[in-house]
Amino acid sequence: MSLLWARVTLTAYRWLGAAIYPFLGSYLAFRATKGKEEHARRRERYGFASSERPNGPVVWVHAASVGETTAVVPLIEEVRRRGIFVVLTTGTVTSASVAGERLGKSVVHQYVPLDLKPAISRFLDFWKPDLALIAESEIWPMTILELGARKMPQVLVNGRLSDRSFTNWRKRPSLAEALFENLSLVVAQSEEDAERFRALGARPVSVSGNLKVDTAPPPYDHSEYEYLHNQIGRRAVWAAVSTHAGEEEIAADVHQALNPAHRALTILVPRHPERADEVEEMLAARGLIVARRSRGDPITKETEVYVADTIGEMGLFLKLADICFVGRSLTATGGQNPLEPAMLDCVILSGRNVQNFRDSYRNLLKNGGARLVNDGDTLAKSVEFLFSNRKAREKMQIAAHKTVDELSGALPRTVRALEPYIKPLTVKAELQHDGRRKRRW
């Protein structure tokens, strides 16, 4: 694909977006009926602001979903500590909830505008960000081009490229170059990710490690933990978290294969809580006794599976479990973050499809802090073995903690890489603060 063809393609993308823009209202309304949009805040998706822009420098941080949002929280806190205002955009209702819980009113949250010129232009005209920080792999062509056209610095932080994304971009090198040349800097998670970004035309590229390692363990309500822990008693507990379609059935198979002597409780945490009804129906059809977190069902001696279908309580469910299977790794691909269970002393099991967290798993496996399974049968055998071998569990917990310690340090490395962009804004914020203070006197 020639550079000219890439420009033509991006121009066509721009005009196609402008053409469909007036017809997106019904689409967003439909998503709202499914709980995927906040009805009262749909205008934010068109770039309309729902908060006032403060005076002074503004950094726009975009994180697509829950994992990305959690990862950038410490970075946002560092930016705010310097007196710089932050507007955080996310793309999902769950990530908006996490942002509210973790950051409160220290930032303004907006839903990310649609990647269409009218919406992006309206958003940028209002907020006028001095710097845009985009988390992980959020490559939105119109957003990148509009920021580039306005000469607004844009940095990809905690950057990663999955195998599939990299393969797709490599098929369109001129298109990739036309977009990635607009990035002022890429701060990649690993050397492998860095090489991939360089191959696609990004310059400069540095390596920080994974920001998710430098986050605090997932929070949990201690009183709720004690309440549920007392209900569970001395039963063995394992959790299947961030599960996708097909993995809940595997978890049910595992539960039914476990030695009855364990009186095991299975905690099932679907990646998308709105699937809880169908998951419960599947479990009930197997004759399993189910309790639901969203209904406030108690965990009784008869409860076999606890469907944890609420938002923002992952820390609670991981803290309750001795063993954790991390989903999106058997029937789906890519994997989910294994470091959160490691931080909460939960022994880690996973399928082999963990490409999106390759570096984390590579180090966990090297240290003995995780095990990979091929299918439901080997998962059941692994859970059974670990239930019966306390020393093996403790050895894996120690190894997982060691891995987290070894992988830490991404936050200070990221801040150092961003210093040329953040330092001038820090000075500007300080001068503005001093000016306000002098006027008061």
Distance CA(241)–CA(324), nearest Å, equals 7
Distance CA(235)–CA(124), nearest Å, equals 54
Tell me the residue type at 37: E
Q: 120: which 2 tokens? A: 């992006």
Intra-chain end-to-end CA distance of the chain, in Å: 63
3-state secondary structure of 428: helix
Residues 6+ apart with CB under 8 A from 332: 244, 245, 246, 247, 353
The residue among 286, 295, 210 whose CA lies nearest residue 252 is: 286
Distance CA(307)–CA(299), nearest Å, equals 11
> What is the CA 3 to chain-centroid distance, rounded?
33
Question: Is 247 assigned a catalytic role?
Answer: no
Catalytic residue among 68, 138, 146, 247: 68
Could you give the C-alpha distances from 59 to 76, 144, 217, 438, in angstroms and in order?
A: 9, 15, 26, 25
Orientation of helix 117-127 relative to helix 141-149, angle to 10°: 50
Cβ burial of 301 (10 Å; 0-12, 13-18, 19+) is exposed
Residues 6+ apart with CB under 8 A from 226: none
Q: 214: which 2 tokens? A: 């430098």
Looking at the chain, the number of H-run helices and the number of E-run strands are 18, 14
Distance CA(357)–CA(336), nearest Å, equals 7
Distance CA(279)–CA(18), nearest Å, equals 40
DSSP states along 4-66: HHHHHHHHHHHHHHHHHGGG-HHHHHHHHHTTSS-GGGGGGGGT--SSPPPSS-EEEEE--SH
Task: For residue 240, report the phi and psi dihedrals to the nearest 5 degrees.
Answer: -110, 110
Q: 296: which 2 tokens? A: 């406030």
Q: Which helix (H) or strand (E) holds 145?
A: helix 141-149
Distance CA(192)–CA(161), nearest Å, equals 9
> What is the CA 57 to chain-centroid distance, rounded?
26
Question: Which residues carry out catalysis?
Answer: 68
